[in-house]
Amino acid sequence: MALDGLRPDERLASAPDLRDHLERWSQATGITVEVWAVPAAPLAAPLAELVRATVLDVLDGFEADGTVRHVGFALTMSARGLRLTVSGDGIGLPPARLAERLHAGHARFAALGGRLSVNAVLGGGVTVSAAVPAPR
């Protein structure tokens, strides 16, 4: 059960909301989620929506993989900008397929001066990383 069923007005805008969404997904899928970091302050609307869409796509991909049993998640904001990391330990989802799911996200991060990447270790999982520099 991906989080696609969220109401359109629900956002991953604050730490409690984000933790709640990840917990519900974990309970629905049986995949353990370890939250390493979330920002204390809500994200600005454009970033919140971009993070939400990216996280939903990544979690959908991990769920579809069928071999993911553990997900690590970190979202941080600093004076340098936003950083997002989502890692899964599965071995079944080809990184190229996950990259296809995230194709639109690449363009959206680039439009904000950021980047989105998918890195895989053969038989050892996939990590999706994204960064957006702070506005100047």
Handedness of CA 32, 133, 11, 2 (dihedral sign): negative
Question: Which residue range is the domain that position 73 belongs to?
Answer: 3-133
Q: What is the pLDDT along the chain (136 residues), one digit of tens a residue?
A: 444 444 334 444 566 688 888 999 999 999 999 999 998 888 888 888 899 889 988 999 899 888 999 999 999 999 999 999 999 998 877 767 777 778 888 899 999 999 999 888 877 889 999 999 988 7
Number of domains, the chain: 1
CATH of the domain at 79: 3.30.565.10
Rg (CA), the chain: 14
pTM: 0.84
In angstroms, rounded to a whole number, what is the distance separating the alpha carbons of residues 75 and 103? 20
